[in-house]
Amino acid sequence: MKAVGYRTKGGLEVLTDIELPTPEPGPRDLLVAVKAVSVNPVDVKRRRWENPDEGEDHRILGYDAAGIVEAVGSEVTLFKPGDEVFYAGAMDRPGTNSEFHLVDERIVGPKPGPLSFAEAAALPLR
């Protein structure tokens, strides 16, 4: 899958395209096909001031996203494949700036029907 990340802290010039394997959902995870993301101030601050963690080749940014559930983990009860969702992700996982993203179902909401994916991705920061 395609993603956007960085290997060393800095300005916009450090962002780079990265190719990664599509992740597999854990027990409570949703695998979301990301349709839209929004830029959160935390994205900018982390990119500017933090290198990837020790042992990581890169960091994928992004917290706020909207998309369509592709697959679910074995213990998921709140969503099913095909559901449209939005959420603010977690700082201890790879970010949402990728084609697919894993997120714990307990921090996800159904995308409000009349909103576009871009509008829904902007909701968590509002």
Instruction: CATH number of the domain at 72, please.
Output: 3.90.180.10
Overall domain count for the chain: 1
Domain that holds residue 109: 2-125
pTM given for the model: 0.94
What is the 3-class SS of the chain, one letter each residue?
CEEEEECCCCCHHHCEEEECCCCCCCCCEEEEEEEEEECCHHHHHHHHHCCCCCCCCCEECCCEEEEEEEEECCCCCCCCCCCEEEEECCCCCCCCCECEEEEEHHHEEECCCCCCHHHHHHHHHC
pLDDT in tens, 10-54: 999 999 999 999 999 999 999 999 999 999 898 999 999 999 988
